[in-house]
A and B are shown apart, each in its own frame.
Chain A
Amino acid sequence: MLNCKVNGKEIKVKQGTLVIDAIKQADYDVAHYCYHPGLSVAGVCRLCMVKIGDNPRLQIACNTPVQEGMEISNEDEQVKDAVKWGLDFHLINHPLDCPICDQAGECELQIQYMKFGQYDPEMAEKKVKKRKVVDLGSKIVLDTERCILCSRCVRFTDEVSKTNELGIFNRGDRSEVGTFEDKPLENDYALNTVDICPVGALTSKDFRFRQRVWYLKNQSTICTGCSTGCNVKVYYNEEGLFRVKPEFNEDINGYWMCDQGRDVYKFVNKDFRLLEAQSVTEGQAEPLSAGKAAQLAGEKLKELTKVNGPESVGVVVTGQYTNEEYESLFDYMVNKLKVKNIYHWVNNSDTMDDFDGLLLRGDKNPNTYGLKEIMKKYSIQTNMSDLEGAIKSNTIKTIVVAGPENQAVYPDFNERASLFSQASNLIWFSAGPVSAATSKHTLVIPTKTYAEKSGTYVNYKGTHQSSHKVTTIVRGALSLSDSVTLMSGESILTKPVGPQKAMKTNFFVNKSGEL
């Protein structure tokens, strides 16, 4: 450990710590645009100026490692002047289109001007004009005029995604960020460039113009898009979820996440959800509340196991639930109902072990590991392929499905659903509608999605991560645990289902490549 002083405050930092991180560690603000801890040091924005000891030449904090006894100041008048002017240099050619800029509210130019600037601008000359609204494919729009040339995005495609799409062309104040011949920026991690862009130069087509960021709240949770379990922040309001951004976790995802994971929020919103339970008997559908449906399911299962024996019940479970949910389901099935025919529904066995070398994994379930652990705990050794025969031979007459909340990553969804429908009784827990569930007696019960419940997911390497409830989207949906409680005949405190409000649809979501 090294001792140093930041603005007079004594702190200890690890060997190799950069001055910029030491300043943050000491709880002081430091102006900067180009520095990003997940990228190489560029040292070009020249804002993180500090005075070190009595060296009259200011240094940049991002390229200076702390040395023992170092006295660092970023509150010195000389530093303040440098930062103020540094901001002005950034702003003299920046267009004043904040009212129509999607970054407004979380723009580092605005934030840092309020913190470190607040001067009267003296620039009276014409601003440099550059290209606006450059279409970079299905995900991203570029405004080169807003760009402050911090080079974060260029370093990202160079160092992290290693796809090398972005570059900075020309010299001096004619410099312009872009791709070669405006080729689309379509790599699997492209939207990270939008996150790290400190200004409104790179914006996400999915999020653009949908919400002003000050109308959004955010909450940390776990991405359920694959078995990596990236730590993310979900941005939402009462209308639903709007976007997902990565949150730093050194052991899991570093600073990044993949673009597929950013789409995971979409099935959470009401448009894609099952809003209430449905009981279908011989083609006759009848809506009912989830709680009522769960109680009904419990009574049915009790009856059926008594009449046909526990062997006549098959339970199909996907790797999309939390450990806590598995625990209550297995306890109920195995201990209470003595049902041991529990099957693991693997959605894409061929690509299950794929890995792109960075974050993206072929196992599109957040908790395959957790499911396998619980099956081991209950000594369940079954094979999904045996289920088909058992249904066809009528050995299994009743199927209970803990289905996927993200149906899009289950390519065999409809095929499986029609197989399960061959059993005479089908009880399906699902976050979204299951139109292919057409058994003689079908009960579909709405479940909560990852964003609506707290619980534990175990990622591909066995790391247990707690995920926190973000918000409630479908008020009538139940977690699997709550359903099991109700099925057992016990009661939970449920809120009455209120009227469902339709969510605004995003014009841009499904119009890839169009502006």
Chain B
Amino acid sequence: MAEVKIITEHYDKDEFISLEGYKKFDGYKMLKKAFKMSPQQIIDEVKSSGLRGRGGAGFPTGVKWGFLPDNGEERYLLCNADEGEPGTFKDRKMMERAPHQLIEGMIISAFAVNSHKGYIYIRGEYSYAAKVLEQAIKEAYDAGLLGKNILDSGFDFDLDIYRGAGAYICGEETGMISSLEGLKGQPKLKPPFPAIKGYLGKPTIVNNVETLASVIYILRDGVDGYRKYGTEKSAGTKLFSVSGNINKPGTYEVPLGYPLMDLINNECGGLKPGRKLKAVIPGGSSAPVLTAEECQKANMDYESLAQLGSMLGSGAVIIIDDSNCMVDMLNVIMHFYHHESCGQCTPCREGTGWLHKVVSSISSGTGRLQDIDLVDEVASRMMGRTICALSDAAAMPARAFIQKFRNEFEFYVREGRSKVKGVTDAQL
């Protein structure tokens, strides 16, 4: 097996960015096909395809669409382009290289869920991608692909872009909705879920960039064609953002279920000479770390990684070689969650700070032996106790690092220096 370029087939071509170029490679052809189908048919196709949300949670997209109430209220389709999970950059690539793919995916999805207004919520730092998208949206409006009576189908859809302004939490769908509503990007209590009461209290579907683009190829290849790749429960291909200590970092599209070691050694060109694999974070910084041994058994799909106690997440694969100190790395991760907790729920607000302080004191050589267990104890009490999953996202890596690399933490406490680097974090 090797890379399978379905979504990313034309990403190497600059002309794919413009409407004209996009059309050259069958762009907007599936939109025409969609308009010949009934919305329910599209929903059924997406359901049968087994497509699961590509943002991180992996919830079946067709099922999510099916939650919309049939009450005549206006509906919103929001694209979550607030890609903030450390290690993830595939959505940026998609928007910069194929803006029309996202727009087409959104129009088809909007038609399927009968929404007439959509927003692409893009993280504020992605200003280049935002410009590319703005230009593409303008082209689409000029070509009658957005607005009233698209391609004489009788279907109306308006699409606008909204820039975030620097908050990881806005990647959480209700945090994103709050932000779009002009509030602090704090997640909302659930229930009600966005499909029932979302943006401005109206039924709302929030899908990731890659999820929306995938809809095009489900229509193109049919359910069977789509399911040709991937596993029974993790269907299709997926974009992986690979980074860290690796020869060829980048975005790779491979079928779900692809062996992690193949991805590392084949697509990504292996590790730097003389280096040994120490660990891999397989699904963004929130995903529990895998040891080198576990990596041998890991396949890149939802089930396989869950079995190993980790998760596929956003598909951000961070390769860690033996030159890294795990205490140091955990400190970087804990700094991130401490910085990004929205501050709403007490266990997360206080817990992320507490974890960061304890790990930081270990990594500055002043930790106590009981601090190692304390990290695990505190983290365990942050899980499943808050409105959104950020608290869990901070707790999971903390617990996994301690559990799997305990000897490095103990060494640090006993010797007051890193086992790998020989000095403390502050001395580096």
Residues of A within 8 A of B (CB): 41-47, 49, 57-58, 63, 81-82, 85-86, 89-90, 92-93, 122-126, 128, 148-149, 168, 170-175
B93 at the interface (CB under 8 A from A): no
**Measured between alpha carbons, how far is A81 from B382 in the docked complex, in Å?**
12
When the two chains form their complex, are residues A148 and B343 in contact, meaning their CB atoms are under 8 A apart?
no
- When each residue 338-367 of chain B gets 1 if its CB lies under 8 Å from chain A and 0 otherwise, what string results? 111111111101111110011001000000
Q: Does B4 interact with chain A (Cβ within 8 Å)?
A: no
A333 to B60 CA separation, bound complex (whole angstroms):
84
Known: A92-B350, A171-B167, A171-B340. 16 other contacts (CB 8 A): A42-B189, A44-B346, A46-B347, A58-B384, A85-B347, A89-B351, A92-B354, A122-B374, A123-B354, A149-B343, A168-B343, A171-B342, A171-B343, A172-B349, A173-B343, A173-B349
Nearest CB of chain B from residue A30's CB, rounded to whole Å: 16
A145 to chain B, nearest CB (A): 13
Cβ contact within 8 Å between A90 and B384: no
Alpha-carbon distance between A172 and B352 when the two chains are bound, in angstroms? 8
Which of B341, B344, B353, B357 contacts A44, CB < 8 Å? B344
Minimum Cβ distance to chain A for residue B15 (Å): 42
Q: Are B343 and A172 in contact (CB under 8 A)?
A: yes
Question: Which A residues touch B387, using CB under 8 A?
Answer: 43-44
Q: Are A41 and B189 interface neighbours, CB within 8 A? A: yes
A-B pairs with beta carbons under 8 A, tally: 87
From B191, B350, B358, B374, A173 is in contact (CB under 8 Å) with: B350
Q: List 14 A-B contacts (CB under 8 A).
A: A46-B345, A46-B346, A57-B384, A63-B191, A85-B347, A89-B349, A93-B350, A125-B358, A125-B361, A149-B344, A171-B340, A171-B342, A173-B353, A174-B343
Taking beta carbons and an 8 Å cutoff, which residues of B are in contact with A?
167, 184, 189, 191, 338-347, 349-354, 357-358, 361, 368, 371, 374, 377, 381, 384-387
- Cβ contacts under 8 Å, A93 to chain B: 350, 353
Residue of B nearest to A89 (CB): B350
Whose C-beta in chain B lies nearest to the C-beta of A34?
B346
Given A63-B189, A172-B340, A172-B342; A90-B385 close (CB under 8 Å): no
Q: Determine the main DSSP class of A at the interface with B.
A: loop
User: How long is the Cα–Cα vector from A148 to B343 in the complex, in angstroms?
Assistant: 11
> For residue B368, which residues in chain A have a CB less than 8 angstroms away from its CB?
124
Contacts A44-B345, A125-B357, A125-B361 given: A173-B386 contact, CB under 8 Å? no
State A59–B112 Cα separation when bound (angstroms): 34
When C-beta atoms are compared, the residue in chain B nearest to A170 turns out to be B343
- CB-CB < 8 A to A90: which residues of B? 346, 350
CA distance A381 to B281 in the complex (A): 88
CA distance A174 to B191 in the complex (A): 28
Q: Assuming A58-B385, A89-B351, A172-B339, is B189 touching A149 (CB within 8 A)? A: no
Q: Knowing A171-B340, A172-B339 touch, does A86 contact B167 (C-beta < 8 A)?
A: no
Residue in A42, A58, A86, A173 whose CB lies within 8 Å of B341: A173
CB distance from A47 to the nearest CB of B (A): 8
Q: List B contacts of A173 (CB < 8 A).
A: 338, 341, 343, 349-350, 352-353
A89 to B343 alpha-carbon distance, docked (Å) = 12
